[in-house]
Amino acid sequence: MTPHDVGIAMFAAVAVLLLARLPVGIAMLVAGAGGYAAIAGLWPLLNTLKTLPFSRFSSYTLSVIPLFLLMGEFATKGGMNAALFRAARAWFGHWRGGLAVATIGGCAAFGAICGSSLATAATMSQVAGPEMRRAGYSPALATGTLAAGGTLGILSPPR
């Protein structure tokens, strides 16, 4: 097999392993290791694995994540989401359906700070949910907006 064939086979392997409900990280590790062994051989792979996993974990860049999450907790407890929602409402509130747009905007802004979908959805529901209910939004639209916006939290870095 040429390295090119190995690459294609490994793509297929990742897809199959993911469909079989293997954790994503393990699936990618298995496919990558299999490809490495197919091209370079088993012993080079085993030797690489002596140092590679730890040097992947032991990364200075990763150390910002706990600090970032702590900052998100502070922002949540400090009521920053309410302020962001007010700001988004001032910008978009006069549009038709502006409250829903403002909710998405608030979620995006807060998600960018907080980085956790769970925290974004939970706190924005408390702030924007009652407002939308008061404005006569249907519960389906209100919760749909919050669910779509709240999960933006995980899309923005670093989580």
Partner 1 sequence: MGGSERQGPEGPLARAARSLAIAGGILLVAAMAVTVASVFRGALGRPILGDTELVELLVGVAIAWFMPWCQARRAHVRLDVFTARAPAAMRRSLDAAAGVLAAIVVAVLAWRLVQGGLDAHERGRETMFLQIPLFWGYGAAGLGMLLWSIVAAVQALEGLGFARRRPGP
Question: Binding residues for partner 1, per CB under 8 A?
Answer: 18-26, 29-30, 46, 49-51, 53-55, 57-60, 62-63, 66-67, 70, 73, 116, 118-119
CB of 69 to partner 1, least distance (A): 8
The smaller minimum CB distance to partner 1, of residues 57 and 94, is found at: 57
Place of tokens 């998100």: 72
Smallest separation (angstroms) from partner 1 to the CB of 122: 9
Q: Could you write out the three-class secondary structure of the chain?
A: CCHHHHHHHHHHHHHHHHHCCCCHHHHHHHHHHHHHHHHHCHHHHHHHHHHHHHHHHCCHHHHHHHHHHHHHHHHHHCCHHHHHHHHHHHHHCCCCCHHHHHHHHHHHHHHHHHCCHHHHHHHHHHHHHHHHHHCCCCHHHHHHHHHHHHHHHHCCCCC
| CB of 108 vs partner 1, minimal distance in Å | 20
Nearer to partner 1, 28 or 87 (CB): 28
Rounded to the nearest whole angstrom, what is the least distance from the CB of residue 24 to partner 1 in the complex? Answer: 5
* Residue among 23 and 139 whose Cβ is closer to partner 1: 23
Please, which residue, 65 or 135, has the CB nearer to partner 1?
65
Tokens of 146: 């919050």
User: Residue 2 or residue 54: which is nearer to partner 1 going by CB?
Assistant: 54
Nearest distance, CB of residue 37 and partner 1, angstroms: 12
